[in-house]
Amino acid sequence: MTAWKISPAGVQRTLEKIPDDFKELQDALKEDSLESCFSGLEWGGAITAAVPKALYDIFDDHKDELSLIINSISAGMLGVGNATRAYQLGQQDMSGNFQREAISSAKTGDFSYFEKNGYKGD
């Protein structure tokens, strides 16, 4: 890496906007939320009877992709936040490590690197 152009304040503002929407997405994808959505479709009797099963099948068929989306958002927040902090401390190599680990964490769901090496609010 030869040149980083990061506005830490801009990154912080962006990262602060993510958690509320992210939590809403996580909550919407929880099984009990989906079940209540499905049961709300039962009002139509025979007309809507197949809809809950069809929706369940879609979510079931795409659960890996949904997990990847959730992991990618989490990894992105951790990677960008930690890379920015490392940049502020003049640790460009560590900034790159955090970004690489974010990509790996998004794919695997393993966030242990950030638990061991991430900045903890300092």
Do 71 and 111 lie in a common domain?
yes
Per the structure, how many domains does the chain have?
A: 2
Q: Is the pLDDT of residue 104 over 90?
A: yes
pLDDT at 2 over 60: no
Task: Please provide residue 37's backbone torsions phi and psi, each rounded to the nearest 5 degrees.
Answer: -65, -45
Residues 71 and 41 grouped into a single domain: no
Band (pLDDT 50/70/90 cuts) for residue 115 is very high
Determine the Cα–Cα distance for residues 68 and 108; give it in Å rounded to an integer.
8
Kindly state whether residues 67 and 121 are assigned to the same domain: yes
Helix (H) or strand (E) holding 99: helix 92-108
pLDDT at 122: 52
Domain that holds residue 26: 21-61
Query: What is the rounded average pLDDT for all residues in the chain?
Result: 85
Q: Tens digits of per-residue pLDDT, 11-60? A: 989 999 999 889 888 887 777 777 777 777 777 778 877 887 888 888 88
Q: How far is CA 72 from the centre of its chain?
A: 5
Same domain? 82 vs 53: no
Residue 87 near residue 7 (C-beta atoms within 8 A): no
Exposed, middle or buried: residue 7 (CB in 10 Å: 0-12, 13-18, 19+)? exposed
Q: Do 71 and 37 sit in the same domain of this protein?
A: no
Q: What is the pLDDT of residue 79?
A: 93
Q: Does residue 11 lie in a domain region?
A: no
Both tokens of residue 63? Answer: 């659960």
Q: Which of 9, 29, 61 is the endpoint of a domain?
A: 61
φ/ψ of residue 76, rounded to 5: -65, -45
Q: How far apart are CA 11 and CA 28, in angstroms?
A: 26
Q: What is the pLDDT of residue 45?
A: 77
Average pLDDT in the 70-75 region? 93
The percent helix, strand, coil of the chain (3-state, each to 5) is 80, 0, 20
The reported pTM is: 0.74
Tell me the average pLDDT across 50-71: 86
